[in-house]
């Protein structure tokens, strides 16, 4: 059997399996996805905002936290100005004078470094991390803190939504982030979340100290700490009611830069915690991580294989494009003959597309997003057939960056 066919069969089966798991869990647990435990005591929170050149958004971020529907005496806001060269410092000094925030100024040392400094200066038992380009809805704290009744819970993440969906890439990320909201909740139900996103996650300070703080030598400190926490046997939860809005890249170049960092960090962290892979003792987390890494590597292999095949046949492929205009002129092709082109691959492809569309629908519904199938149909089609190609390229870039280009111990200084 042709190698390509084997790849396609394995990949199709994995996609079907994964889609079914998500759909079954979603349907069976629909009534409990939005239930957040009520706090059994008053939790005090230190919100930390690491900021590097965030003059455009820092005020909105601080206000989003300050306006939380939560007693003011139970939380503090610490902004760590990580050597900004724009007006971030000035804006923060104004907020400090108003008594809204505590400001720490330092030399640029990267996000993880800034967060660690913030934690050192935090006085409360729970640490809320918020990226300076994001802001929460006002019920965020209330929705999340109840999970900390369980001493095994070390962190709780929010549901991330895009702040704006005006241009093509923002719209694509809107669908992508909506899907992630559902996936994260499903993962959290089975203690298998492998990232606590930078915008709007709460951590138990004692556990952060126990695991040695945020790793400053990784590109994705929010993923590394999630691996680290679960490696120590703690749980990570997710609240679908705690919504955080984040600014997403508008242009392809920015998006590529962001994803290169994310996916390079993913490979780096997975290598560091490779003992979590294919390890039955680590339960669902290990199963999901293993499935994820196999899928990503298969996708990269498939991409390489197709690319190599295309390169070998490039001459013929180019002629194919040229010839297609003549081929359609053949007068005797009838609609009925389309049937002769149907095969097993096409049937499975149609089924996977239908299941994926169902997942997008469920995700958008679970995020209370407006679903206008008629208006947004071209968007969904673009997501499945165009944006997924971009994602493959991003994964490939991350893979190469991590294994061939990245300097050892290089952290994120953005």
Partner 1 sequence: MVKPKNSFKFYAMLALFLSLLVFLSGFSIGFLVNDFKQKSISSDLSNIMKLIESNEVEIALMNFLDDEISCEYLNLRVGSINQEVHELGLRVSAYEGANSVLTEEYYSIKKSYINALINNWINVEKARNLCSLNYSTILYLYALKEDCPRCEEQVYALSRIKSQYGIDSLIYSIDTTLGLEAVNMLMYSYNISAFPSLVINGKTHSGYASSQRIRELMGQ
61-90 residues near partner 1, rule: CB under 8 A: none
Determine the 3-state secondary structure of 409 from DSSP: coil
Decide: 254 and 305 in contact? Cβ < 8 Å.
Answer: no
Q: Give least dist CB 120 to partner 1, A.
A: 30
Side-chain half-sphere exposure of 351, counting CA atoms within 13 A: 14
For residue 322, state whether it binds partner 1 (rule: CB under 8 A). yes
Report d(CA 68, CA 49) in Å as an integer: 15
Q: Cα-flanking dihedrals φ and ψ of residue 123, to 5°?
A: -105, -10
Which member of 36, 76, 133, 176 binds partner 1 (CB under 8 A)?
36
Element spanning 204, H or E: strand 201-204
- How do 134-136 and 235-246 pair as beta strands? antiparallel
Q: Give least dist CB 282 to partner 1, A.
A: 12
Q: Considering beta carbons, is residue 332 or 375 the nearer one to partner 1?
A: 332
326-355 residues near partner 1, rule: CB under 8 A: 326-327, 329-334, 337, 339-344, 346-348, 351
Q: Considering beta carbons, is residue 25 or 391 the nearer one to partner 1?
A: 25
For residue 35, state whether it binds partner 1 (rule: CB under 8 A). yes
Which member of 150, 275, 297, 309 binds partner 1 (CB under 8 A)?
150
Q: Considering beta carbons, is residue 308 or 320 the nearer one to partner 1?
A: 320
Per-residue exposure over 174-205, b if at least 16 CB sit within 10 Å of its own CB, e if not: bbbbbbbbbbbbbbbbebbbbbbbbbbbbbbb
Which member of 3, 24, 308, 381 binds partner 1 (CB under 8 A)?
24
Q: Give least dist CB 315 to partner 1, A.
A: 8
For residue 38, state whether it binds partner 1 (rule: CB under 8 A). no
Q: Considering beta carbons, is residue 36 or 54 the nearer one to partner 1?
A: 36
For residue 319, state whether it binds partner 1 (rule: CB under 8 A). yes
Q: Among positive and negative, which fits the CA dihedral 160, 164, 165, 171?
A: negative
Q: Give least dist CB 87 to partner 1, A.
A: 43
Token digits for 245? 């809005």
User: Residues touching partner 1: how many (CB under 8 A)?
Assistant: 51
Token digits for 82? 């990580």
Show the beta-strand stretches assigned E in 93-176: 102-106, 126-129, 134-136, 153-162
Q: Where are the alpha helices (DSSP H) in 313-406?
A: 314-327, 344-366, 373-382, 388-400
Sheet of strand 235-246, all strands in order from the earlier edge strand to the far edge = 102-106, 75-82, 45-51, 126-129, 201-204, 153-162, 235-246, 134-136
Which member of 70, 147, 194, 383 binds partner 1 (CB under 8 A)?
147
- Give the CA dihedral 53, 55, 60, 64, nearest 10 degrees: 30
For residue 308, state whether it binds partner 1 (rule: CB under 8 A). no
CA-based nearest residue to 198, from 222, 169, 172: 222
Q: Give least dist CB 22 to partner 1, A.
A: 9
Q: Among positive and negative, which fits the CA dihedral 290, 296, 300, 303?
A: positive
User: What is the CB neighbour count within 10 angstroms for residue 391?
Assistant: 16
Q: Considering beta carbons, is residue 342 or 373 the nearer one to partner 1?
A: 342
For residue 39, state whether it binds partner 1 (rule: CB under 8 A). no
Q: Give least dist CB 19 to partner 1, A.
A: 8
- Using the structure block, give the residue that is written with the tokens 């991330």: 160
Which member of 16, 250, 357, 358 binds partner 1 (CB under 8 A)?
16
171-230 residues near partner 1, rule: CB under 8 A: 189-190
263-292 residues near partner 1, rule: CB under 8 A: 283-284, 287
Contact residues for partner 1 (CB under 8 A)? 1-2, 5, 13, 16-18, 20-21, 24-25, 28-29, 32, 35-37, 147, 150, 153, 189-190, 235, 237, 283-284, 287, 316, 319-320, 322-323, 326-327, 329-334, 337, 339-344, 346-348, 351
């Amino acid at each position: 059997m042709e190698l390509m066919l084997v790849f396609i069969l394995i990949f199709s089966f994995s996609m079907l399996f994964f889609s079914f798991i998500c759909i079954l869990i979603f349907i069976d647990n629909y009534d409990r996805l939005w239930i957040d435990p009520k706090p059994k005591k008053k939790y005090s929170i230190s919100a930390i905002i690491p900021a590097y050149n965030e003059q455009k958004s820092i005020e909105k971020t601080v206000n989003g936290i300050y306006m939380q529907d939560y007693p003011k005496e139970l939380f503090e806001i610490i902004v760590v100005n990580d050597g900004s060269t724009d007006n971030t410092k000035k804006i923060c000094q104004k907020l400090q004078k108003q008594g809204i925030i505590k400001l720490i100024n330092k030399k640029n040392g990267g996000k993880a470094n800034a967060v660690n400094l913030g934690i050192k200066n935090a006085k409360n038992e729970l640490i809320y991390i918020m990226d300076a380009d994001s802001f929460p809805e006002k019920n965020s704290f209330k929705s999340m803190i109840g999970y900390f009744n369980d001493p095994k819970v070390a962190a709780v993440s929010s549901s991330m939504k895009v702040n704006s969906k005006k241009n093509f890439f923002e719209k694509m990320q809107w669908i992508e982030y909506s899907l992630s909201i559902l996936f994260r909740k499903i993962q959290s139900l089975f203690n298998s979340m492998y990232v606590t996103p930078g915008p709007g996650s709460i951590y138990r300070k004692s556990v952060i100290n126990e695991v040695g703080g945020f790793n400053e030598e990784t590109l994705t400190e929010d993923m590394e700490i999630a691996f680290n926490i679960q490696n120590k046997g703690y749980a990570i939860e997710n609240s679908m009611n705690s919504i955080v809005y984040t600014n997403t890249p508008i242009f392809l170049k920015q998006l590529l830069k962001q994803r290169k960092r994310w996916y390079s960090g993913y490979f780096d962290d997975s290598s560091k915690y490779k003992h979590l892979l294919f390890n039955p003792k680590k339960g669902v987390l290990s199963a999901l991580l293993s499935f994820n890494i196999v899928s990503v590597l298969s996708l990269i292999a498939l991409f390489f294989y197709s690319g190599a095949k295309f390169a070998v046949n490039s001459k013929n492929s180019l002629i194919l494009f040229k010839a297609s205009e003549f081929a359609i002129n053949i007068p005797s092709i009838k609609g009925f003959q389309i049937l002769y082109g149907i095969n097993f691959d096409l049937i499975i492809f149609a089924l996977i597309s239908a299941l994926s569309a169902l997942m997008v629908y469920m995700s958008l519904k679970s995020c209370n997003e407006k679903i206008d199938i008629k208006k947004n149909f071209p968007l969904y089609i673009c997501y499945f057939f165009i944006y997924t190609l971009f994602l493959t390229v991003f994964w490939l870039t991350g893979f190469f960056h991590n294994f061939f280009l990245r300097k050892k111990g290089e952290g994120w200084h953005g």
